[in-house]
Amino acid sequence: MNRRLYLQQVGVLFSATAIAQFINFLAYPLLSRTYDSIAFGYFSIFVSAASIVGPLACGRFDIVVQAAPHAQRFAALKLATVISLPVSLLGAVGYGLFGPEIAGMAMWLAALLFGASVLLIGFCFSGTAFLIKHEAYRQNGIAIVARVALTVAPQLLLFWIMPDARGLILGFCAGVLAQAWVIAWGVRRLGLRRATRRQMGALGRRYSQYPIYDVPSTFLSMFALYAANFFILNLYGAQEVGYFGFAFRLAALPMALLAGSLSEVFFQKAAKSFQSEGAYWRPLRFNLVVAGGLAAIIFALTLLLARWAVDIYLGKHWAPVATVLIILAPMMAARFIFVTVSAAPLVTGRTGWLLAANAVLATSMAAIFGFAKWRGLTFEAYLGLSSISTAILYLLLVAAIVATAYRRYRGPSAQSAASSAGVG
């Protein structure tokens, strides 16, 4: 493995994420002094629901875009796009039936925006996989920056005519549309080719384990990440969701984007290594060292600077955001490490393992919610219990991934050496 190239490619995505987050950080003081915590609460519910359903829109055939042979990449991309159409329609119907009412916005319009967001997020996932398969990291980086820039700019402008959740939601939809457009432009530049129904059918049959196992697995993973918004709305109200949602945007979302970038590069390198050598221990070990170091730095900075930074940056009326950040720091650091290596089982097709892991995480989150409702826990007590419990589970899962890779996928030379040492 060329470590220099690995770091260079991660650096491209990291730089794009850093630029995007810099834009966010410039906008947050303005957003926090315009929209109130209740507006952010309803906005967080909309975004959380879209972020749970959106990654499922392609039936997880966005992974197939990466995993399929190079000659079948166009058919995989088209299949993923076709699958996302009915899923987005169902998402719109579901939001229309069960979504919360947003003041000033008709439910049919909210449902339409939700369905469009799901469709665009699904395409962003499959299109990003296509670009990364071609190692077009720069194009993907441009898409990341475009999404953030064209989210916050409309949000700030729309406040003057929609000073509530509507302005935030419409800005979010504009940003997702911008990201999808940049990705589509990049795909066309790579020479998009036609794919027949027969080719897509063959791919669907060959990789049927992905929708069977990875759709529920991804749903449970996204549920574990975003379900707290719905739980907090039920337990405490929209204002607390707003505090939690802002803390998520300040720390958890940037960490998730960076972890996703590391995970995408790792999956590409690990899949390539496994196809050529039957092993992926070296890229896993290197990725784990990088992720662990970054997680430790972010964790320490959160504990040291959160209260001071929030007080100056957002204003004193957002002080509860700092408390949320400090309480959630262990969970965010552990999840960061887990996300960067969680694709390891997919390299060898062990989608069932990842499904079981995400089921454990989601069950734990739901159990903590049930306990908090039963015992009447305070907002801070609920967050603390959730953070510590989930962090422990994430680290145990990382340990299991590492142990499996070390035993089975170190490569022929390492395994032969270990066998010789055992015999001697």
* Alpha carbon 396 to chain centroid, angstroms: 20
User: Taking a C-beta distance cutoff of 8 angstroms, is the pair 125, 214 a contact?
Assistant: no
Mean pLDDT on 290-315: 90
411 φ/ψ sector (left φ>0, alpha ψ -120 to 50, else beta): left
3-state SS, one letter per residue, for 96-115: HHHCCCCCCCCHHHHHHHHH
Between CA 130 and CA 75 the distance in angstroms is 11
The pLDDT, as a whole number, for residue 326 is 95
Between CA 365 and CA 235 the distance in angstroms is 14
User: Taking a C-beta distance cutoff of 8 angstroms, is the pair 182, 58 a contact?
Assistant: no
User: Taking a C-beta distance cutoff of 8 angstroms, is the pair 164, 101 a contact?
Assistant: no
* pTM score, whole prediction: 0.79
Q: Show the CA angle centred on residue 247, arms to residues 246 and 250, nearest 5°.
A: 85
Mean pLDDT on 5-10: 66
| pLDDT for residue 236 is more than 90 | yes
Q: Where are the beta strands (DSSP E) in 73-230?
A: none
Those residues with Cβ within 8 angstroms of residue 376's Cβ, 6 or more apart along the chain or in another chain: none
What SS3 state is found at 373? helix
| pLDDT for residue 202 is more than 50 | yes
| pLDDT for residue 416 is more than 50 | no
User: Taking a C-beta distance cutoff of 8 angstroms, is the pair 277, 349 a contact?
Assistant: no
Please report, as a single letter, which amino acid is at residue 57: A
The pLDDT, as a whole number, for residue 5 is 66
Q: Which tens digits make up the pLDDT trace of 209-230?
A: 777 777 887 788 788 878 999 9
Sign of CA dihedral 374, 375, 379, 381: negative
